[in-house]
Amino acid sequence: MQITSRDFKRVASRKLADPKLQKALGNAKGKLVVTRARSILELDNYEEIREASARVRDFGLQNMDVLLEEWERRAVAAGTIVHWVESGREVNAKVIEIARRHNVRKIIKSKSMLGEETNLNHELEAAGLDVRETDLGEYIIQQSGETPSHIIAPAVHKSRDDVADLFAEKHQRRRLTDIAALTHEAREILRPHFLDADMGISGANFLVAETGSTMIVTNEGNGRMTTTMPRVHVAITGVEKIIPTLEDVSMILRLLTRSATGQSISNYLSFTTGPKRPDDKDGPGEFHVIIVDAGRTKVLASDMREALRCIRCGACMNHCPVYQNIGGHAYGWVYPGPIGSILTPSYVGLENAIDLPNAATLCNQCGVVCPVKIPLPDLMRKLREKQVERGLRPWGERVGLRLWAWAAARPRIYSLLTRIGARIGRLAGGRAGLLHKLPPGGSGWTTGRDFPAPKGKTFRELYARERAGKRSGPQ
């Protein structure tokens, strides 16, 4: 996916002023936060499960190499063809190579965020392949030529009217407005493609080392179709998806679906181990799994490694006051919200996503709801430190901070400057004691509100007076 994270501030301002988007976000926010909270209450030992889940993910990270080898050995024994690739570009090339070898013309795809990272659909189309997204949200955005704005609900930014217009145009049918009718129209349109596609592409929520399986979590049934109907199935997945046992997956699933959509369980949990067996009546003749690095090992080696625990539930964005107000597109790459503010700079370079770690109030809502206890605010703070260390902040800010540091290390000068500043502030504040416009550096604060003016005395002056008063006061 093209990276537009550098435009964060400009796009975020535009999104704040978009009434249609604001309505869609308001609708989603209320539902997702409440349904999660309610479903968490079903687990009387939620915190205990959460702690254990974080430990399982850490075990996966710490023993990733041996676990992947164990997974591979069992997958190969079940007939899976395993490929290892280093970059996003090579993922696309490998998928195209497999498609060519099997004379594939039509591909059905269930959701893969890794596929979004590598721009897979675009590359497949450029190679002359017919590829159709089948998750309803992904289908909608593929048809409208957009990118997902949420990792679980990719079309959450679109209204039913948007979808009605889109379907009427793309399907050349009568315009429907009822949401159920629109959903069933997509079913009718996509059903024939499920039945005659040559190849299915899916992601994987987890790779189970114990059994050599890939597993996916879906609600619509498109995941089952994609992994069962076509004659070739290719699953693409990052190395960090490895998990030790079926018991570990079962435990984490109790948190994943509740954190994502507030469901106690999602409709379909599919564990795939190898291709069609000799006597099976259905299933693909060949099953390929492409294991991908694409930046993961770099993150594993960095102080951002806890972000690799992520199980892609989306709770952090659902609960983020910044995401709730600007939506996912402003973040400019595949992963929005707090986890995106960490993964995007880690995968595409801090200099290409300079504003993302700063697009947070550090209120820690994300940290509180994360089912695998990723310390999201701490990681964002570390990225902010790196921006400063690497001199990536704008020159005005850097010079300003250096001047402040110089003055702050010299008490007499600091005292003098703050006294001058406090007095100018009092004068500028007038009778109301409010500043309507701050100078550059603080002007953003006053575009929407006033700033309380200093009252004329610095803290040091007040402190000195207080101490003097105590000394001379009644004993």
Partner 1 sequence: MSARENILGRIRAANGKTGAASAAEREAVAARLRTHARGPLPSMDWDPLPRFKERCIVMMSTVDQVASRSDLPAAIARYLTSNRLPLGGVCWPEFADLDWGGAGLDIAARPATGRDMVGVTGSFCAIAENGTLMLLSGEDTHATTSLLPETHIAVVPASRVVRSMEDGWDLLRREREGLPRQVNFVSGPSRTADIEMTLVMGVHGPFRVHVVVVN
* 89-128 binders of partner 1 (CB under 8 A): 90
Interface positions, 336-375, toward partner 1 (CB under 8 A): none
Q: Which of 117, 123, 185, 220 binds partner 1 (CB under 8 A)?
A: 220
Q: Which of 24, 326, 369, 453 binds partner 1 (CB under 8 A)?
A: 24
Residue 209 contacts partner 1 per CB under 8 A:
yes
Interface positions, 121-180, toward partner 1 (CB under 8 A): 134-137, 140, 153-156, 158-160, 163, 179-180
Q: Which two three-digit tokens encode residue 111? A: 């959701």
Q: Do the beta carbons of residue 230 and residue 199 sit within 8 Å? A: yes
Q: Which residues make beta-bridge pairs with 188?
A: none
CB of 230 to partner 1, least distance (A): 13
Q: Which of 15, 254, 309, 329 binds partner 1 (CB under 8 A)?
A: 254
Q: Smaller CB distance to partner 1: residue 290 or 376?
A: 290
| Contacts (Cβ under 8 Å, ≥6 apart) of 57 | 243, 252, 308, 309, 311, 372
Q: Smaller CB distance to partner 1: residue 98 or 360?
A: 98
Q: Smaller CB distance to partner 1: residue 228 or 358?
A: 228
Q: Smaller CB distance to partner 1: residue 277 or 402?
A: 277
Residue 379 contacts partner 1 per CB under 8 A:
no
Interface positions, 37-96, toward partner 1 (CB under 8 A): 42-45, 48-49, 52-53, 56, 59, 61-70, 78, 84-86, 90
Size of the site for partner 1 (CB under 8 A): 105
Beta strands in 273-356 (DSSP E): 286-292
Q: Which of 92, 112, 119, 261 binds partner 1 (CB under 8 A)?
A: 261
Residue 277 contacts partner 1 per CB under 8 A:
yes
Q: Smaller CB distance to partner 1: residue 140 or 435?
A: 140
Q: Which two three-digit tokens encode residue 353? A: 């996503």
CB of 435 to partner 1, least distance (A): 42
Q: Which of 88, 274, 336, 371 binds partner 1 (CB under 8 A)?
A: 274
Q: Smaller CB distance to partner 1: residue 81 or 251?
A: 251
Residue 238 contacts partner 1 per CB under 8 A:
no
| Contacts (Cβ under 8 Å, ≥6 apart) of 273 | 74, 75, 78, 80, 211, 212, 213
Q: Which of 54, 131, 291, 317 binds partner 1 (CB under 8 A)?
A: 291
| Contacts (Cβ under 8 Å, ≥6 apart) of 431 | none
Q: Smaller CB distance to partner 1: residue 27 or 361?
A: 27
Q: Which of 264, 404, 462, 468 binds partner 1 (CB under 8 A)?
A: 264
Instruction: Point out which span in 192-200, 327-335, 347-355, 461-469 binds partner 1 (CB under 8 A).
Output: 192-200
Residue 315 contacts partner 1 per CB under 8 A:
no
Q: Which two three-digit tokens encode residue 145? A: 């030529």
Residue 251 contacts partner 1 per CB under 8 A:
yes
Query: Could you please report the per-residue DSSP string of 43-85?
Result: -TTHHHHHHHHHHHHHHHHHTHHHHHHHHHHHHHHTT-EEEEE
CB of 279 to partner 1, least distance (A): 4
Max distance between CA atoms of the chain, in angstroms, equals: 99
The β-bridge relationship of strands 268-272 and 213-218 is antiparallel
Backbone angles phi, psi at 410, to 5 degrees: -125, 95
Pick the closest to residue 207 from 249, 171, 174 (CA basis): 249
Separation between Cα atoms, residue 319 and residue 186, nearest integer Å = 30
Residue 250 contacts partner 1 per CB under 8 A:
yes
Separation between Cα atoms, residue 357 and residue 338, nearest integer Å = 8
The length of the chain in residues reads 475
Separation between Cα atoms, residue 256 and residue 240, nearest integer Å = 16
